[in-house]
């Protein structure tokens, strides 16, 4: 039979929406990979995944009814073990052949081939290709067992269910799956492939939309008609990506009709796509009085609790209009709209109540209560933590913004965690910091303090905005202090990330510190910050500072490479352990420009050679160069070139022009090459040797101020 397209569908009860996308992809690609591995489909066969609230499916092109036979060579045993002195098969060989389905008649056809030091016997045989029914049965079993199911359910199979399992008993056998399964479709072209899964026998019948399908049962004609039949007869868009695109189109169109923009939230879009078989977007309203509540609260409650899409105006401000996504399309949608407007009202009223109640107390009045909130069993209360963050913020604020920066950072640090004790943050923990900013403004705190409180958790995730640069740099000072205190505290008690486990998000905190230091070009030295942070934990072991520094440098290397810098460039810059990270982008750019020079390869190799010579030297630390002992013309020429080039490179380095500093070194290529061709560094005369080592030490220092150029040597 010619190859035909294959359809497999598992019909189930409503799947968990947050897991649907992954489940659909895993189901389709797991089946396809297994069928391809068994030779039933070509590697280039096209895979189409289906995933809707009540189904997982696969469409695979060019599937064979039977896989091609495979030639297999099986290693049996060493010749000395399998054949006796006369060449007759031993019992061990006959037993091995029997296990492979052969007998003594196969002995003359066995092959001999070297296997290590000995010679072994090999049996050539042909393994019949699997039928599609066999291959699909195996693929189903393997794929269902490996699905990324967040939480298994168990249920008993109904009477009439079927299974090849000898222990199977309808009505009593328990099945473990993400949701109870009620149907299995398997079609090869128009023919049903006889397979079983989860107590279900394959067929061609499925069901469409719970309420809007044209018929209760849909008989799928063939594999290629599945999507069209579900759409036309079942009122279902089975492909996740198509349903998502249709939802996105409807949201944009509905928002545009109002002159507004629907909130951009990919996670919400995926979740709602997983909740509906065929989306129908409708416009709703709520009372404008609720807009007095901070928009973050209203947006969060609409998105998290109701799965609604708030509408924003051109300035990004929330309006009293929002979009809902219905799973039905009634001729008159007014009842659906009214119902959703009625449901959202108490949610918004709760948010308004929390906000109004919270404003009755100042943030400062809540601060003493932080002493009763446990932060960590070994690190004390939130009150203890607040004092540590406060000390760090004052010091960093002083460095960044002088007395004003220290005072504003101190005030912001005092109040930053107080919103944890408010009703609003108790209901919506995601709003911590944000609500603190609102309450600080209500308490007439300086705007810089309110912004610092609001921003001090930033950046919360990759790509998130950094703290705004407020008066005295208070926001940056507090955000750095908060993250450094977390890192230092948890490192001090040995709570380090391991493998893929990072329960306290320390990698994220480290990347936040890195981004602030680099992107805001802050004049802060990392060793000083580490010392300052660990100073808040006097019981920390002596080696913790080195551990924390290495952790930060490791995260720095990873971050720079992810941003496109090559491993060589990053290694060259980071090898010097520069204390200030704000100038690292300029150092990388300088190294990149230097590497493009024709002289760079030779100078990098020479620098590596110089470094190795200096490491091996046992003459002690090189002193100053004695010009009277420069007896060879090549070493005199190198000393003169250094005297000319080094001041230029150093001046460029001091003014932060790292590119010019490195490019000035290009003039040293000729003298350096001549030196290594004509001068013996390890001269027998100890004074000459020390002087030449001193010259090389001066060269090495001049070449490695911006980066360790030896790391560029191939």
Is the model's pLDDT at 621 over the cut of 70? Answer: no
Percent of the chain with pLDDT over 70: 97
pLDDT band for position 389 (50/70/90)? Answer: very high
pLDDT band for position 470 (50/70/90)? Answer: confident
Is the model's pLDDT at 433 over the cut of 70? Answer: yes
pTM given for the model: 0.81
Q: With beta carbons less than 8 A apart as the criterion, state whether 379 and 516 touch.
A: no
Residues 550, 530: Cα–Cα separation, whole Å: 11
Q: Which residues contact 458 (CB under 8 A, 6 or more apart)?
A: 464, 465, 466, 467, 479, 512
Residues 233, 208: Cα–Cα separation, whole Å: 7
Is the model's pLDDT at 215 over the cut of 90? Answer: yes
Q: With beta carbons less than 8 A apart as the criterion, state whether 578 and 553 touch.
A: no
pLDDT band for position 22 (50/70/90)? Answer: very high
* Per-residue pLDDT reduced to its tens digit, 312-350: 999 999 999 999 999 999 999 999 999 999 999 999 999
Q: Which residue from 412, 417, 402, 396 is spatially nearest to 477, judged by alpha carbons?
A: 396
Q: Which segment of 18-22, 174-178, 534-538, 657-661 scores lowest on mean pLDDT?
A: 174-178
The SS3 assignment for 67 reads: coil
Average the pLDDT over 573-599 and give the result.
Answer: 95
DSSP codes of every residue in 651-712: HHHHTT-HHHHHHHGGGGHHHHHHHHHH--SS-SSHHHHHHHHHHHHHHHHHHTSSS-GGGG
Q: With beta carbons less than 8 A apart as the criterion, state whether 277 and 54 touch.
A: yes
Torsion of CA 186, 190, 194, 195, to 10 degrees: -10
Q: Residue 171 — left, alpha, or beta (φ > 0 → left; ψ -120 to 50 → alpha)? A: left
pLDDT band for position 308 (50/70/90)? Answer: very high
pLDDT at res. 171: 56
DSSP codes of every residue in 104-162: GGGGGG-EEEEETTEEEEEEEEEEPPPBHHHHHHHHHHHHHHH---SS-EEEEPPTT--
**CA of 166: how far to CAs of 136, 162, 263, 349, 428, in Å?**
20, 11, 54, 58, 52
Q: With beta carbons less than 8 A apart as the criterion, state whether 90 and 81 touch.
A: yes
Which residue spans within 543-688 are E strands per DSSP? none
Question: Which of 491 and 164 is assigned the larger pLDDT?
Answer: 491
Q: With beta carbons less than 8 A apart as the criterion, state whether 467 and 476 touch.
A: yes
Average the pLDDT over 574-590 and give the result.
Answer: 95
Is the model's pLDDT at 495 over the cut of 90? Answer: yes
pLDDT at res. 128: 83
Residues 636, 649: Cα–Cα separation, whole Å: 20
Sign of CA dihedral 202, 203, 204, 205: negative
Residues 603, 699: Cα–Cα separation, whole Å: 11
Q: Which residue from 118, 134, 27 is spatially nearest to 80, judged by alpha carbons?
A: 118
Q: Which residues contact 150 (CB under 8 A, 6 or more apart)?
A: 16, 18, 19, 178
Please give the backbone phi and psi of residue 366, each rounded to the nearest 5 degrees, phi first: -90, -15
Q: What secondary structure letter does DSSP report for 373?
A: S
Residues 258, 611: Cα–Cα separation, whole Å: 69
Residues 15, 69: Cα–Cα separation, whole Å: 39
Q: With beta carbons less than 8 A apart as the criterion, state whether 130 and 66 touch.
A: yes
Is the model's pLDDT at 170 over the cut of 60? Answer: no
pLDDT band for position 23 (50/70/90)? Answer: very high
Which residue spans within 17-138 are E strands per DSSP? 47-52, 55-63, 70-78, 111-115, 118-127
**CA of 129: how far to CAs of 13, 52, 68, 69, 191, in Å?**
36, 34, 5, 4, 20
Residues 697, 3: Cα–Cα separation, whole Å: 73
The SS3 assignment for 630 reads: coil
Average the pLDDT over 492-503 and give the result.
Answer: 91
Question: Which of 463 and 619 is assigned the larger pLDDT?
Answer: 463
Residues 528, 385: Cα–Cα separation, whole Å: 20
Q: Which residues contact 231 (CB under 8 A, 6 or more apart)?
A: 237, 238
Which residue spans within 316-383 are E strands per DSSP? 318-326, 374-376, 380-381
DSSP codes of every residue in 160-207: T---S-TT--TTT-EEEESS-EEEEEEEETTEEP--EETTEE-BSEE-
Average the pLDDT over 191-213 and give the result.
Answer: 95
Is the model's pLDDT at 502 over the cut of 70? Answer: yes
Q: Which residue from 19, 609, 43 is spatially nearest to 275, judged by alpha carbons?
A: 19
Is 241 exposed, middle or buried (CB count within 10 Å of its CB: 0-12, 13-18, 19+)? middle
Q: Residue 175's beta-bridge partner residues? A: 155
Is the model's pLDDT at 162 over the cut of 60? Answer: no
Q: Residue 128 — left, alpha, or beta (φ > 0 → left; ψ -120 to 50 → alpha)? A: beta
Q: What secondary structure letter does DSSP report for 552?
A: H
The SS3 assignment for 310 reads: strand
Is the model's pLDDT at 174 over the cut of 90? Answer: no
pLDDT at res. 164: 57
Is the model's pLDDT at 168 over the cut of 80? Answer: no
* Per-residue pLDDT reduced to its tens digit, 508-567: 999 999 999 999 999 999 999 999 999 999 999 989 999 999 999 999 999 999 999 999
Q: Which segment of 119-123, 167-171, 194-198, 218-222 scores lowest on mean pLDDT?
A: 167-171
Q: Residue 77's beta-bridge partner residues? A: 121
What is the residue-averaged pLDDT of the chain? 93
pLDDT band for position 602 (50/70/90)? Answer: very high
pLDDT at res. 462: 86
Average the pLDDT over 436-441 and give the result.
Answer: 97
pLDDT at res. 115: 85
* Per-residue pLDDT reduced to its tens digit, 391-425: 999 999 999 999 999 999 999 999 999 999 999 99
Instruction: Go through the domains of the chain in sequence order and give each one's CATH number.
Output: 4-66+131-234 (3.30.70), 73-127 (no CATH), 240-358 (no CATH), 370-564 (1.10.3210), 585-712 (1.10.730)
Average the pLDDT over 664-682 and give the result.
Answer: 91
Q: How far is CA 427 from the centre of its chain?
A: 28
Residues 648, 642: Cα–Cα separation, whole Å: 10
pLDDT band for position 102 (50/70/90)? Answer: confident
**CA of 313: how far to CAs of 164, 212, 263, 550, in Å?**
60, 35, 10, 47
Apex CA 105: angle with CA 99 and CA 110, to 5°?
75
């Amino acid at each position: 039979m010619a190859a035909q397209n294959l359809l497999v569908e598992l019909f189930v009860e409503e799947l968990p929406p947050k897991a649907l996308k992954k489940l659909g992809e895993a189901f389709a690609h797991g089946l396809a990979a297994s069928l391809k591995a068994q030779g039933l489909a070509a590697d280039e066969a096209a895979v189409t995944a289906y995933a809707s609230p009540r189904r997982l499916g696969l469409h695979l092109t060019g599937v064979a009814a039977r896989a091609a036979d495979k030639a297999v060579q099986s290693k049996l045993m060493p010749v000395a073990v399998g054949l006796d002195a006369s060449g007759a098969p031993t019992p061990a060989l006959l037993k091995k052949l029997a296990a492979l389905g052969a007998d003594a008649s196969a002995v003359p056809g066995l092959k001999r081939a070297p296997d290590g030091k000995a010679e072994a016997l090999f049996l050539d045989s042909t393994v019949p290709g699997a039928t599609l029914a066999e291959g699909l049965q195996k693929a189903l079993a393997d794929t269902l067992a490996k699905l990324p199911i967040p939480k298994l359910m168990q249920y008993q199979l109904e009477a009439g269910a079927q299974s090849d399992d000898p222990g199977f008993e309808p009505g009593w056998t328990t099945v473990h799956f993400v949701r109870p399964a009620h149907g299995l479709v398997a079609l090869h072209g128009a023919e049903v492939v006889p397979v079983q899964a989860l107590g279900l026998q394959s067929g061609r019948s499925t069901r469409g939309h719970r309420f809007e399908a044209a018929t209760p049962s849909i008989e799928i004609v063939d594999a290629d008609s599945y999507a069209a039949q579900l759409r036309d007869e079942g009122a279902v868009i089975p492909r996740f990506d198509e349903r998502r695109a249709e939802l996105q189109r409807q949201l944009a169109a509905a928002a545009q009709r109002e002159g507004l923009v629907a909130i951009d939230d990919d996670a919400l879009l995926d979740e709602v796509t997983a909740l509906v078989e065929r989306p129908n977007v409708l416009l709703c309203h709520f009372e404008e009085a609720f807009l007095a509540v901070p928009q973050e609260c209203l947006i969060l409650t609409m998105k998290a609790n109701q799965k609604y899409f708030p509408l924003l105006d051109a300035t990004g401000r929330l309006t009293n209009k929002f979009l809902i996504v219905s799973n039905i399309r009634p001729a008159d949608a007014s009842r659906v709209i009214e119902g959703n407007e009625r449901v959202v009202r108490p949610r918004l009223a709760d948010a308004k109540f929390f906000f109004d109640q919270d404003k009755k107390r100042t943030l400062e009045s809540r601060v003493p209560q932080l002493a009763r909130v446990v932060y960590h069993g070994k690190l004390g209360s939130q009150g203890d933590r607040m004092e540590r963050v406060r000390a760090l913020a004052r010091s960093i604020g002083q460095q960044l913004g002088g007395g004003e920066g220290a005072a504003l950072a101190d005030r912001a640090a005092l109040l930053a965690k107080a919103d944890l004790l408010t009703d609003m943050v108790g209901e919506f923990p995601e709003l911590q910091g944000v609500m603190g900013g609102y309450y600080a403004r209500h308490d007439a705190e300086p705007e810089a303090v309110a912004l610092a409180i609001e921003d001090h958790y930033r950046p919360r995730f990759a790509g998130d905005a950094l703290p705004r640069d407020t008066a005295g740099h208070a926001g940056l000072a507090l955000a750095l202090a908060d993250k450094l205190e977390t890192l230092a505290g948890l490192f001090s008690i040995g709570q380090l990330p391991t493998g893929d486990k990072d329960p306290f998000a320390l990698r994220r905190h480290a990347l936040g510190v890195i981004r602030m230091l680099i992107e805001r070009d802050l004049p802060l030295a990392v060793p000083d910050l580490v010392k300052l942070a660990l100073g808040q934990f006097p019981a920390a072991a002596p080696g913790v500072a080195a551990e924390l520094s290495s952790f930060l440098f490791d995260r720095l290397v990873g971050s720079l490479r992810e941003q496109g810098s090559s491993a060589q460039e990053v290694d060259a810059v980071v090898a010097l352990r520069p204390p200030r990270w704000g100038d690292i982008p300029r150092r990388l750019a300088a190294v990149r420009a230097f590497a493009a020079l024709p002289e760079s390869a030779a100078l990098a190799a020479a620098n590596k050679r110089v470094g190795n010579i200096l490491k091996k030297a046992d003459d002690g630390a090189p002193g100053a160069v004695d010009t009277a002992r420069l007896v060879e013309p090549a070493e005199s020429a190198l000393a003169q070139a250094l005297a000319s080039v080094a001041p230029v490179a150093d001046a460029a380095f001091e003014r932060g022009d790292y590119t010019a500093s490195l490019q000035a070194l290009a003039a040293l290529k000729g003298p350096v090459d001549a030196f290594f061709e004509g001068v013996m560094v390890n001269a027998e005369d100890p004074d000459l040797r020390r002087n030449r080592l001193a010259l090389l030490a001066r060269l090495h220092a001049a070449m490695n101020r911006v980066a360790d150029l030896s790391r560029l040597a191939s």
